[in-house]
Chains A and B, each alone.
Chain A
């Protein structure tokens, strides 16, 4: 079977999903185009500013798309491509899209507050501490897993290593040009894009060959520096250039699949138990952001909701954004599905190139159908996904530092402890734990735990939305059942992973999984009981 059919079917089903289920969800959430949004009622010129739907869609999608929806489906394809494909399609339509849209709508009905703040309001200061522990642990896992994956990519595609280093320097120059020397953004972009492709060329001419461990140490050093510098120096300009990589990559890969229509060679279904674990629940958490991601609710409720022009835009941005990310996941799955089982397995062994090398090899072949030389396409794709992974790496380090500092902060006290004041301590602790995990573990062991934590966050967001809808007296089955399902999947996955890591003597990973499990259960129970109690009081008072 040709892989273009996978894309066509996904496009058609997502179209139907958006038109019918998306409309149903919007109706249940009581979306009313006439009701003014916080961007209008609370305009402040900085955070709360109305933006048109296409602008916000572009911004939202650029914020949610990254390396995780590419790595997840490729890793999960070990179960065969059919179950992964089904989970991406059904998960995006019935769970992920609902989660993203309802988080945005819940936020606009709570003055544009983040879903985290909404939960915290009900649970109190202990809820905040629990959330910070949960967030820190998840982010350290992100640091560990992306460090290994990027190091693996640099070892197996040395051209991508040179290109990535040059790309970072380019971002620095771009940032300095735009922010410091007031270069016109258009001119800087033109020069930037030309230099971006020069990076790929130079990468091919001068590849850097280093061992895996050396790359891990270098990456740890890089994330330490990158996460303590001001955002305008590296993070902002690189995100801007990353968007070019993202859209070129998606366009190149999709066109390549349609024109070349490569044949699917991977088995549709392999077996229920693989080296990753059991299909239920491990497949669901391994696909991670390809079907549902808890971080989307934080972006949706934290940034997008503050800028929504009309309530009806929530469906386009939330639901539409998730389905577009689902398409990216389908592209990633296709990259794995066109390989023979033996080739696929050789990429994912301990000494193999890893998921990014697999993706870039396949995308290089897809782009070959467009007349682009395969090795150029491959280096470009490896550069693009490594750039996303590097972004995830240093933003995760930065965020884990914020979480660490905020955990030790005493509210209302002028003299704070050094753990809260000093940014280097927070960063060093996060990099140390992330590095220790990266040096001792395998990414295949860490990835499902990260996926579980990410989706537990989504389950918590769905819980908050379901309770809120319950308060309003709205039928909330469309968020309640996905919430039950996500809690069931993630908690059983964590139990599975705790046992597996105990047997494999990965004690650090085991402790982190136990921590995530306990914190998430306590947080969910506290949020649920306090919200229910609040509801009872509200009803009695009425």
Chain B
């Protein structure tokens, strides 16, 4: 009885620690990580546009980049979505920076 109770308490404690760790990660590191990922994503988008521009209707000579295609198969639909959404507007900027008042 005591053992099961202790086991249960241990489980709950572990769960609490897990949630707190996630909360702290979200409060501190997520923004830093997202910023770097966005920056990387933007550079990647340019690269993809040069390589596979014809997939979104840009007249780019693609015969040299076919060899790269298998490496970017996973990224392709994501990239097409990002391109289809268009540029950042004031709403995106306000969402990113503007909640503190």
Contacts and interface: CB of A to CB of B under 8 A. Distances in A.
A61 B27 contact: yes
Contact of A116 (B38, B41, B94): B94
A45 interface: yes
A402 B90 contact: yes
A216 interface: no
Interface in A397-419: 398-399, 402-403, 406
Given A45-B41, A117-B91, A57 B23 contact: yes
Interface in B22-45: 22-32, 35-39, 41
B67 interface: no
A67 B81 CA distance: 37
A132 interface: yes
Interface string A375-398: 000000000000010011001101
A43 interface: yes
A58 B98 contact: no
B97 A240 contact: no
Given A240-B32, A247-B27, A302 B101 contact: no
Nearest to B35: A236
B25 A298 contact: no
Nearest to A141: B101
A508 to B, nearest CB: 20
Given A54-B22, A58-B22, A240-B31, A68 B100 contact: yes
B28 A243 contact: yes
B19 interface: yes
A236 B32 CA distance: 7
B101 A45 contact: no
Contact of A67 (B30, B92, B93, B100): B100
Contacts of B23: 54-55, 57-58
Contact of B100 (A66, A132, A247): A66
Contacts of B99: 63-64, 66, 295-296, 298-299
A179 B31 CA distance: 13
Interface in A223-245: 231-232, 235-237, 239-240, 243-244
A78 interface: no
Interface residues of B, number: 38
Contacts, number: 153
A395 B89 CA distance: 16
A399 B32 contact: no
Interface residues of A, number: 67
A214 to B, nearest CB: 25
The DSSP consensus for interface residues of chain B is helix
Contact of A298 (B39, B81, B98): B98
B95 interface: yes
Interface of A is mostly: helix
Q: Tell me which of B30, B36, B98, B100 has the highest count of chain A C-beta atoms within 10 A of its own C-beta.
A: B100
Given A45-B78, A399-B93, A243 B98 contact: no
A301 interface: yes
A44 B82 contact: yes
B32 A42 contact: no
B22 A301 contact: no
B35 A55 contact: no
Contacts of B39: 232
B101 A68 contact: yes
Interface string B79-93: 101100100011111
A67 B96 contact: no
A395 B97 contact: yes
Contact of B25 (A55, A67, A302): A55
A9 interface: no
A406 B90 contact: yes
Contacts of B30: 51, 55, 58-59
A13 interface: no
A240 B94 CA distance: 18
A135 interface: yes
A298 B91 contact: yes
B75 interface: yes
A116 B90 CA distance: 9
Contacts of A232: 35, 39
A10 interface: no
9 contacts: A45-B37, A46-B41, A64-B100, A240-B28, A299-B99, A303-B96, A396-B101, A399-B98, A403-B90
Given A56-B26, A392-B101, 13 more contacts: A45-B41, A52-B22, A54-B22, A57-B26, A58-B24, A58-B25, A135-B94, A231-B35, A236-B31, A298-B91, A303-B95, A303-B96, A398-B93
Interface of A: 42-48, 51-52, 54-68, 114, 116-117, 131-132, 135, 142, 146, 178-179, 185, 189, 231-232, 235-237, 239-240, 243-244, 247, 289, 293, 295-296, 298-299, 301-303, 388, 391-392, 395-396, 398-399, 402-403, 406, 450, 454
- The 7 lowest CB-CB distance pairs between A and B, nearest first, are A302-B95, A58-B26, A66-B100, A58-B27, A55-B26, A114-B91, A54-B22
Interface of B: 19-20, 22-32, 35-39, 41, 75, 78-79, 81-82, 85, 89-101
